[in-house]
Structure 1
Amino acid sequence: MKQVGMLLFVVLGGMALALEAAFLGPLGKSIGRLSASLSIFLIGVIVFSLAMIVLMVAGRRNYLSTLATLPKQPRWLLTGGLVGFIYTIVLTITTPLVGVGTTMVGILCGQITASLAIDHFGILGSERRAIDSYRIGALVLILIALWLIY
């Protein structure tokens, strides 16, 4: 049952990404692509900061001491922030041109392709999971979906 709940949570996350694309397209047209992308990050920083303050006041965890260990982390782990930047720019540019559906299926296609490689080779410390015919079949179906929706 726990796994079903997690799958539903992941689906909700995917729905949120589609909403983000729907927001970024018109916002990018209105105020400019880079300004729209920056605004999304700024709002995210504000919301995360407020959430951390609320959790610290509630006594859940001392996030400031956790953040203090950030400079001690391997530098390559900190490059994950670039991924969000790239993703947001791609959404802002492509959504007005091809629509939310095509953008999301294209994003999904890229995600599945990269995640299969990460799993198969155990990249970035991930547990190795061999690519099998089912996973290849799923990727082919997503490629077909991209072709059909475009």
Structure 2
Amino acid sequence: MGAGLLTTVALVLAVLAGTLIPMQAGLNGRLAQAMGTPIWAAGVSFLIGTLILLPLAALLRSPGQALADLSGVPWWAWFGGLMGACFVSITVFAAPIVGATAMIAAVIAGQLIAALALDHFGLAGYTANPIGWRDLAGVVLLVAGVVVLRFGRG
């Protein structure tokens, strides 16, 4: 697969992944309603995901080799699971309160703010890429969009 095609496939899959976030938050919000707490709903969601991912991962690579390679992982890389748990729990809580559109706009604004910092300082394995005024303007406009989406409805 050529680099251009690989990039296109990756972007299409990223858009597809983006479509799943508001659906996941809504479905997990319904779980939270039934279970009485977003934390239980997030836990059940992660359990289902784990039960699906582990057999698939074992098909793609031997568990022994994958576990052996963990010794080279930097300490900070282990926080990805914690961040995923926080993300799912927060969206389960927020989605029914603010709605899918405002929640996703706020999530995207937060993602861009974090991405700018990660790129600018070269953190979490990213290459340093200084931010410019256009980057900042884009994030400011997106944050303004979140405000309009949430509070601009009459």
TM-score of the two chains, using structure 1 as the length reference? 0.88
What one-letter code is carried by the residue in structure 1 that aligns with 2:17?
Answer: G
1:49 lines up with 2:69 in the alignment = no
**Partners in 2 of 1:125 and 1:72 — Cα distance?**
14
What one-letter code is carried by the residue in structure 2 that aligns with 1:69?
Answer: D
What one-letter code is carried by the residue in structure 2 that aligns with 1:86?
Answer: C
- Structure 2: tracts of 5 or more residues without a match: none
**Partners in 2 of 1:7 and 1:144 — Cα distance?**
26
Q: Show the 5 A alignment for 1:21-36.
A: 21-32=25-36, 33-36=38-41
What one-letter code is carried by the residue in structure 2 that aligns with 1:13?
Answer: A
Tell me what 1:103 maps to: 103
SS in 1 for 2:124: helix
What one-letter code is carried by the residue in structure 2 that aligns with 1:40?
Answer: S
Please tell me the root mean square deviation across aligned C-alpha atoms, in Å: 1.5
Cα offset, 1:38, TM superposition: 0.3
1:4 lines up with 2:8 in the alignment = yes
**Partners in 1 of 2:29 and 2:55 — Cα distance?**
26
Q: Show the 5 A alignment for 1:101-140.
A: 101-140=101-140
SS in 1 for 2:130: coil
SS in 1 for 2:127: coil
Q: Deviation string for 1:92-150 (max 9, x for gaps)?
A: 11111111111111111110001000001111231011111221121122112101110
1:68 lines up with 2:68 in the alignment = yes
**Partners in 1 of 2:116 and 2:73 — Cα distance?**
26
**Partners in 2 of 1:7 and 1:136 — Cα distance?**
23
**Partners in 1 of 2:96 and 2:23 — Cα distance?**
13
Q: Deviation string for 1:13-52 (max 9, x for gaps)?
A: 1111121111111111111221111001001111101212
- Structure 1: tracts of 5 or more residues without a match: 56-60
SS in 2 for 1:144: helix
